[in-house]
Homo-oligomer: A and B are copies of this chain.
Amino acid sequence: MNKILVVGSIGLDTVETPFGQVQDVLGGSATYFSVAASFFAPVNLVAVVGSDFPEKEVEYLKNRKIDIRGLVINPGKTFRWKGKYNYDLNTAQTLDTQLNVFAQFKPVLPTEYQDVPFVLLANIDPELQLEVLKQVKHPRFIACDTMNYWIEKKVDALKQVIAKVDLLFINEAEIRQLTKELNLVRASQKIFSWGAKYVIVKQGEYGALMFSQGSVFSTPGFPLEEVNDPTGAGDSFAGGFMGYLAKKGDFSEKCFRQAAVVGSVMASFNVEDFSLNRFKRLQYDEIETRFKEFKRLSHFEGTL
């Protein structure tokens, strides 16, 4: 089966929402992505943690069949993020960021990783994303994520990344900031002119829009009765999307649309609990059931 390479952050998060709080729990873009993707395809992880990173979390990643030969454990402390969400769960307020060992992160792909065909550059410095791409030998499909910080600080490097990837994951506010275009249709066209062939605009609880030249697909958010912590929803979406695409190895419009729904499915599970707690008890048949529920949620007869 097609493997997926992911390069990104692993962190210990302290998160407060109106529904509870957690301290120094498993988090990070690469973590959410890897675990979500691991339900569909084998994942090869590249990331760095400190010597304080809990052994049981390493064991968890191993148990998910995630290849951690690219996980570097450096002396020092693991990356830490502290954030808070108010009742508007769409926007996180960052209270504290401690890069720790992540500050010196220089991603190096183990030899065995260099031929992995599906590549996800999670939200890290675009200059590091470019370094990763130099080490990838035979990619079939490359996607990247980013955030407002890099749009502000390293937009030129980010545009170089976008020129080299197939798909950009980006949230609504960020694509507007990056393209200086309010209208999402025109914003995605600008991304196409820079090189990427697909853009997935993440819209939080409203779902996502997937743009390609000549087509647009809308996947809804799932109307959940319990949303406890939106941290990692975007990474879980990307994980579900890339995992399904790698599993199928099919680049048809049909498969892309299903992959986008699988992304929404994984994001919808993730937000039900803090950290990766929902994924830790998630069964594959629950994924199948929720995929069908998404179909029911958005299905209508096509003739007036």
Contacts and interface: CB of A to CB of B under 8 A. Distances in A.
Contact of A225 (B186, B215, B295, B301): B186
Nearest to A287: B304
Interface stretch (A93-101, A134-142, A256-264): A256-264
A295 B291 contact: no
Interface stretch (A20-28, A113-121, A161-169, A177-185): A177-185
A297 interface: yes
Give this chain's copy count. Answer: 2
Nearest to A217: B297
A218 B223 contact: yes
Contacts of A184: 223
A175 to B, nearest CB: 12
Contacts of A258: 300-301, 304
Interface string A175-200: 00000001111100000000000000
A298 B223 CA distance: 16
A84 B303 CA distance: 37
- Give the interface centre of A223, A225, A288, A291 by most chain B CB atoms within 10 Å: A223
Contacts of A215: 296
A281 interface: no
Interface string A215-235: 111111101111100000000
Contacts of A224: 183, 185
Contacts of A257: 299-301
A205 to B, nearest CB: 9
Interface of A: 87, 182-186, 203, 206-207, 209, 211, 215-221, 223-227, 244, 254, 257-258, 260-262, 287-288, 291-292, 295-302, 304
Complex A-B, nearest 5 residue pairs according to Cβ-Cβ distance, in ascending order: A218-B220, A257-B300, A206-B206, A295-B302, A185-B225
19 contacts: A183-B226, A185-B223, A185-B225, A203-B206, A206-B207, A207-B220, A209-B223, A217-B298, A218-B223, A219-B300, A220-B298, A254-B300, A257-B300, A257-B301, A287-B304, A295-B300, A298-B298, A298-B300, A299-B302
